[in-house]
Structure 1
Amino acid sequence: MTTDQKIDLILQELGKMNGKFEGKFDSLDGKFNGLNGKFDNLENKFDKLEGKFDKLENRFDKLEGKFDKLEEKVDSMDQRLQKVETKVDRLQEEFMSFKNQTDDNFNYTNKLINQAFEKISENITYQDKVTQIERIIHSRPRPKTFS
C-alpha cells in the first residue's frame, strides 16, 4: 500500500469516526435539549406551585387575621360573661337575703296567727262556758213570788 492509499484509508477512518462523533454529538445535543425542555417544564411547574403557595400564604394571613378578631371577640364575651356571673352572684345573694327575710316574716306571721287562733279558741271556750251557765240559770225553776 502506498502512502496516498494509507492516507486515504486514514482519512476514511477519520471520516467514519467524525460521522460517529457527529452522530453522538447530535444525539447528546438532542438529549441536552430534551433535558432543557424538561427543566423549563419543571421550572414552570415550580413557578405555578410558588404562585399557589403565595395564594395559600395570603389565605392563611387572612384566616390568621380573622382568628385574631375572633379571639378578641371571645375575650370580650368572656369579660361580659364574668360581669354577668358577678351580677348573678349578687342577685342570688340578694334573693337569698330576701328569701330568709320572707321566711322570717312568714314564721312570725304564722306565730301571730296561731296565737290569734289560741285566743279565739280560748274565747270560744269561755263563751261556751258562759252560755252553759246561762242555760243552767234559765233552766232552773224560778222561785214563786208572792204578790
Structure 2
Amino acid sequence: MDALYTAVATANGREGRAVSSDGQLDVGLALPPALGGDGRGTNPEQLFAAGYAACFASALAGVGRREKIDTGDVSITAEVEIGQDDAGFALAVTLRAELPDHLSGAEGERLVRQAHEVCPYSRATRGNVPVTLVVE
C-alpha cells in the first residue's frame, strides 16, 4: 500500500486523554456507565463508531459517483457493541444507512452492500468483527 495520509493519536488508557499529533483531536476518555465508569468522557467505541460512520458515508457516496447515481443526503449511524466471547473482549457493529427516498428498495440496498466492499473500515474489520447492514 502507498500511504496517502497517516493519522497519529496517543492515548493513555480508557480513563485519560486521546490526542492527535496535530492537536485537532483532544478528548477526555472515560468508561461508560455500562462498563462501570462515570461516563464523563468519550470512549474508544464511540470514537470507532464516529470514524466508521464517516468513512462508510464517504464510501457510499463514492460508489454512487462511480455508478453515476446521486446518493443525495445520506446518514450513516454506526452502533459499536463491546462484549465478551471465549477469547476475551470483542466488538460487533451495526451500520444503519438512512437513504433518500429515491434510493429506497433494492437499489439502495445494493449500493450499501457495494460500499461495504470498498470502505476501508469494512475491509479492516472483515472476518474479525461481525457487521450488520441495515437500510432504513
Same fold (TM over 0.5): no
Bigger helix fraction: 1
Alignment TM class, shorter chain as reference: under 0.3
Higher-RCO chain (CA-CA 8 Å, sequence separation at least 6): 2
Bigger strand fraction: 2
TM-score (normalised: structure 2): 0.21
